[in-house]
Structure 1
């Protein structure tokens, strides 16, 4: 099995756990004299089986991520950490540019002559350029990660 297939299975299992959780909580209590629409005990057993499968998948995925190398990007785990930090950095830079441009208030100029003008403390254009560079770097790294996911075999 390829790593990408395992990642898809992990996502499916996580969705299944959430669906079962919702069904369990819906059927955990019922009105006296009524019959619940589903057996909550059976659902608990089912969710336990899915969780055991999920744990095995996560262990194998993590083992594979820590072992598979991506050249200059290091291991797949290193690349994933780098991508997470790039996304955070992009978010911060974008938020800073928006705030400096006055986007949060909906206007960047004063309403009345008597109001004090708001002045940007940050270079908006440079921040937007930096955000664009970060977004490109994230996309390029993500492509390399996806390629590796489809090329790497899942470890036991």
Structure 2
């Protein structure tokens, strides 16, 4: 199984477990004299089996990520950490540029006698930096995705 397939399987298992959780809570109590739509105890057994599968799959994914080298990016784990930080950096820069430009201002100056709002940050520079970070993020994400489809999942 390729790493990308394992990641998809992990997402499917997580969705399945959340669906089971909703079904369990919906059927955990019922009115006297009526039957629940589903057996909550059986659903708990099914959820437990799915959780065991998920634990094993996550363990294998983590072992693969820790051992998988991506050249200058380090291991896959290093690259994933770098990607998370790049996403945060891009968001921070984009939000700062939007705030400094007044893009979200509800109260625009109506009359000349009102005080002017002045930007404390260089908007163009922030947007340029955000664009550069977004480009770096896209390139790193492409390398990660490529590695996901090339490498096999470790046992």
Give the TM interval when normalised to the shorter protein.
over 0.9
Equivalent in the alignment of 1:70: 70
Deviates more, 1:5-14 or 1:98-107: 98-107
Equivalent in the alignment of 1:92: 92
Q: What do the CA deviations read for 1:103-147 (whole angstroms, capped 9, x no partner)?
A: 22246x412222210000001111111111111111110000000
Gap regions ≥5 residues in structure 2: none
Equivalent in the alignment of 2:29: 29
Give the drift of 1:34: 1.2
Give the drift of 1:99: 0.4
Q: Does 1:6 align with 2:9?
A: no
Equivalent in the alignment of 1:133: 132
TM norm structure 1: 0.96
TM norm structure 2: 0.97
Give the number of equivalent residue pairs. Answer: 155
Gap regions ≥5 residues in structure 1: none
Deviates more, 1:145-154 or 1:98-107: 98-107
